Amino acid sequence: MNEPTWRKPAGVLAILVLLTLWAIGVAMLSGVIGGWHWLLQLGFYLIAGIAWLWILPMRAMLRWMETGHWR
């Protein structure tokens, strides 16, 4: 069994900070985005919520937490 490392708690903290900042940023844009057609809003929130926040940065963060390598 592997010895626990500092990467996992640091990674969890970084994920929580990133989520908080991302939510604040999207909430600040809600006034502008709220005036868009609902299909454009749907597209924006799908891209902002899934592709940019979870798939791209979190994948690398989780890999780093497990292995210590970004790639």
Contacts of 12 (CB under 8 A, 6+ apart): 65
Q: What is the pTM of this model?
A: 0.71
Number of compact structural domains in the chain: 1
For residue 14, being part of any structural domain is answered with: yes
For residue 35, being part of any structural domain is answered with: yes
For residue 2, being part of any structural domain is answered with: no
**Domain residues for 23?**
7-63
For residue 70, being part of any structural domain is answered with: no
For residue 71, being part of any structural domain is answered with: no
Q: Tens digits of per-residue pLDDT, 16-63?
A: 898 888 888 888 998 999 999 999 999 988 888 776 666 777 888 888
pLDDT value, residue 9: 92
Distance CA 20, CA 12 (A): 12
